[in-house]
Amino acid sequence: MSDADTVGSYVTPDRPKRQPPPRRAQLLAFVRLFVEDEGRWPTAREMANHMGWKNEGSVGDALSGLVRDGHVRLRKSANPRSRLVWELA
């Protein structure tokens, strides 16, 4: 079993942080405040609404960009209903 197969292990590598483009930076700021206030990640719909995006797929694209920029990571979840969990890096 590889390290990536272990529950709680990260499936995205640690990356040096880069400055994200303005829209991704805006989403990152929203997520940080939301997590601080609510104690959970916002849903894709909540993020799309905040950003004024009609398509939730845009949220996935932006989060993938934040992974590439080193600000967000994915890890395996212990919850069987949620296989992957987004985390702030």
- 75 Cβ contact list (under 8 Å, min separation 6): 8, 9, 10, 11, 84, 85, 87
Q: Give bridge partners of residue 60 from the DSSP assignment.
A: none
Q: For residue 52, what are its two tokens?
A: 């004024």
pLDDT given at position 83? 60
Beta bridge partners of 37: none
pTM: 0.75
Per-residue pLDDT of the chain (89 residues), as tens digits, is 444 444 455 566 666 788 999 999 999 999 999 999 998 888 889 999 999 999 889 998 999 899 888 888 877 767 666 565 667 77
* Class in CATH terms, 3-88: mainly alpha
